[in-house]
Amino acid sequence: MDGYIGKILGILYHGEQLSYTSPLLHQPSDPKSPEEWRIHWQKQNQPWRTEPEIPLARQKELSKHLAIVPNIEKGLYPFKGMHLSRADVEWLLAAHENGRGPVDWSDEKQRNRKGLDLRGADLRYADLQKLPLARLRGALTWRGGTRSHERATQSC
């Protein structure tokens, strides 16, 4: 897909081949220590991040899972059964809605946005303290009725 976008941009810019890399897939190489990462995330306006950036291969893997459309009836969720670390969740929050980032509950205009969908993810041992998890989808609602809830739970 990235190569295709590069070709289109190349056509638009008089046949020049442009290199296109998704802004969500990156691997900073400068920060080394926890303090350097803290400063890096402050500069990126992501002060809630505490972990080093996840490797590019993991970013690509998580990006593929983000493309999965949830289906409650079939018990299908983007991260179902997948172990996620705090670093994974931090990256997913930063990448949420094509890089728009997490829902900022203090901004009333954002309160209708959908939050990150982590239903079915294995978050055991992941310290999620102080992460901006407003509107997070982490469980099924009871509004859908008992039967659909039972079917989805049985297939988990």
Q: For residue 5, is pLDDT > 50? A: no
Q: How many domains does one find in the chain? A: 1
| Residue 103 near residue 110 (C-beta atoms within 8 A) | yes
pLDDT of residue 36: 92
The distance from CA 35 to its chain's CA centroid, rounded to whole angstroms, is 24
Q: pLDDT by residue (tens digit) across 75-122?
A: 899 999 999 999 999 999 999 999 999 999 999 999 999 999 999 999
pLDDT at 31: 83
Distance of CA 68 to the CA centre of its chain: 12
Tell me the whole-structure pTM to 2 decimals. 0.72
Q: Kindly report, residue by residue over 51-72, the tens digit of the pLDDT.
A: 999 999 999 999 999 999 999 8
Question: What is the three-class DSSP state of 76?
Answer: strand
Q: Determine the structural domain holding residue 28 and report its residue range.
A: 2-154
